[in-house]
Structure 1
Amino acid sequence: MATHTFPFSTLINKQTSVFPALDDADVILERRDAENLVLMRSERFEAMVKGLSLAARSLAIIAKANRALAEEVFAEELPWLTWLPADARLECVTELLDNLLAGAETGLLLPFSRALREWQSTAEVYSDPELTRRLLGPFDTTDSSIVERPGGTDG
């Protein structure tokens, strides 16, 4: 899908420049001090949500019937899965599928996106054996000190 990009101020000052662009593309409004915004026609948005929902449900059905196939599909699209230990790979695929399915049903895909980013970061740690060894411990605590819990020691 094509996109057009405009500064956010163009929407405020020259709406007639932005709205016609929605006829054949989505519009990204760039903001200086905040996250960019996306404008799209509701028909395209609804089609995207329905397509994503169908794809997520279909993938979930495949995963329930043949977990190995689902892992293979994810590994094809997410090659960094190979850096995860086997048990973590299964946990990752399960969590991503669950979040994708829930997101497709609700339209809330940020949890899926967050989980995807977190799992990729975890895989990248595992790709470096020295870093993995250091993060798994044991840890040298000779120079450490006990820090009291904020708000006192009540629990």
Structure 2
Amino acid sequence: MGTRTFPFSTLINKQTSVFPALEDADVILERRDAENLVLMRSERFEAMVKGLGLAARSLAIIARVNRSLAEEVFAEELPWLVWLPEQARPQCVKELLDHLLAGSETGLLLPFARALREWQSTAEIYSDPELARRLRGPFDTTGAVDAEPPGSADG
């Protein structure tokens, strides 16, 4: 099983081309001015959610029993983890596992994806010692002005 891609307009104009593809594939509908959409049969979606939930709970159990093994698993799948300072790695692993577990239970995986992106960006900053040094400060605030908090301006 794989994926098939169609322009979004095909769904509107020729559903008979799109829906039969769902028998053996998930369908990506490409939109010009918005995020693409994915169509899939509910049994495949439910299987994916159940599989993800089982994998997340299993990994969380391993992490509780053997944190270093969980870190090894993550390091295998997330090679950028080595760029984080050693003391930040357990926090990263815990946060990602917590988000993954919560997402697998609720179906809300965007917080996991956001945390994954944030940790990877942080690791990439640490991979460049000069950039990491500059971001730690001190910062030249000559000429800086205080910004008003959102919603506080008269108007």
Instruction: Find runs of 4+ consecutive structure 1 residues off by over 6 angstroms.
Output: none
Matched residue of 1:138: which SS? Answer: coil
Does residue 69 of structure 1 match 2:69?
A: yes
1:140 shift after superposition: 2.5
Does residue 121 of structure 1 match 2:121?
A: yes
1:137 shift after superposition: 1.3
1:149 shift after superposition: 2.5
Which residue of the partner structure matches residue 51 of structure 2? 51
Distance 1:47 1:148, change over 3 A: closer
Does residue 41 of structure 1 match 2:37?
A: no
Q: How many residues align?
A: 151
1:88 shift after superposition: 1.2
Q: What amino acid is the match of 1:126?
A: Y
Name the Cα RMSD after superposition. Answer: 1.1
CA distance in 2, matches of 1:100, 1:19: 31
Q: What amino acid is the match of 2:96?
A: L
Which residue of the partner structure matches residue 131 of structure 1? 131
Matched residue of 2:140: which SS? Answer: coil
1:35 shift after superposition: 0.4
CA distance in 2, matches of 1:45, 1:54: 14
Which residue of the partner structure matches residue 146 of structure 1? 145
CA distance in 2, matches of 1:13, 1:46: 28
CA distance in 1, matches of 2:107, 2:48: 10
Q: What amino acid is the match of 1:110?
A: L
Matched residue of 1:34: which SS? Answer: coil
Distance 1:55 1:148, change over 3 A: closer
CA distance in 2, matches of 1:98, 1:144: 42
Which residue of the partner structure matches residue 84 of structure 1? 84
CA distance in 1, matches of 2:72, 2:62: 11
Q: Which blocks of at least 5 consecutive residues in structure 1 are unaligned?
A: none
CA distance in 2, matches of 1:65, 1:149: 48
1:148 shift after superposition: 4.5
Which residue of the partner structure matches residue 108 of structure 1? 108
Map Cα deviations across residues 30-67 of structure 1 (whole Å, 9 max, x no partner). 00011000000000000000000000000000000000
Q: What amino acid is the match of 2:70?
A: A
Q: Which blocks of at least 5 consecutive residues in structure 2 are unaligned?
A: none
Which residue of the partner structure matches residue 9 of structure 2? 9
CA distance in 1, matches of 2:93, 2:100: 10
Which residue of the partner structure matches residue 27 of structure 2? 27
